[in-house]
Amino acid sequence: MAAEVHRESDGTDLHDTWDFPFDDPRVDRPQPYSSLVSVDVEALSHEGHVRARNEDAFLVYRASRTWERLRTNLPDEDIPERFDETAYVFCVADGMGGLAAGDVASRLAIRTGVNLVLNSARWWLKLDCPETRAEAMQAFAAKAVKRFSQIDKTLLQEGNKSSVLFGMGTTLTVACSFGADLFVFHVGDSRAYLFRDGTLAQLTRDQTMAQVLLETGVISAEQAKSHRGRHALTGLLGGRGSKDAPEVHMLRLKNGDQLLLCTDGLTNMLDNAAINRVLASSGSAEEGCRRLVDEALQQGGRDNVTAIVARYTLPDQH
Domain boundaries, the chain: 32-313
Q: Strands, E, within the chain: which ranges?
A: 38-46, 56-68, 82-96, 169-170, 172-178, 181-187, 191-196, 199-202, 237-238, 247-252, 258-262, 305-313
Q: How far apart are CA 286 and CA 294, in angstroms?
A: 12
pTM score, whole prediction: 0.90
Can you list the residues of the chain whose pLDDT is less than 70? 1-27, 98-100, 318
102 membership: H or E segment, kind and range: helix 101-118
Q: How many CB atoms lie within 10 A of CB 224?
A: 20
pLDDT of residue 157: 95
Q: How far apart are CA 239 and CA 233, in angstroms?
A: 10
Which residues on neighbouring strands pair with residue 58, listed in sequence order?
A: 92
By DSSP bridging, strand 191-196 and strand 82-96 are unpaired
pLDDT of residue 270: 97
Q: How far apart are CA 295 and CA 293, in angstroms?
A: 6
> For the chain, what is the largest distance between any 2 Cα atoms, rounded to a whole number of angstroms?
73
pLDDT of residue 26: 55
pLDDT of residue 2: 43
CA distances 111 to 92, 134, 284, Å, are 12, 29, 29
Question: Is the Cα dihedral 65, 144, 38, 110 positive or negative?
Answer: negative
Contact 144, 125 (CB under 8 A): no
Class of domain 32-313: alpha beta
pLDDT of residue 4: 44
Taking only the tens place, the pLDDT of each residue in 295-316 is 999 999 999 999 999 999 999 8
pLDDT of residue 23: 53
pLDDT of residue 21: 52
Of the chain, the percentage scoring pLDDT greater than 70 comes to 90
pLDDT of residue 14: 46
Catalogue the long-range contacts made by 115-123 (C-beta closer than 8 Å, 24 or more residues apart).
116/147, 116/150, 116/151, 117/147, 121/8, 121/12, 121/14, 121/17, 122/12, 122/16, 122/17, 123/63
pLDDT of residue 310: 98
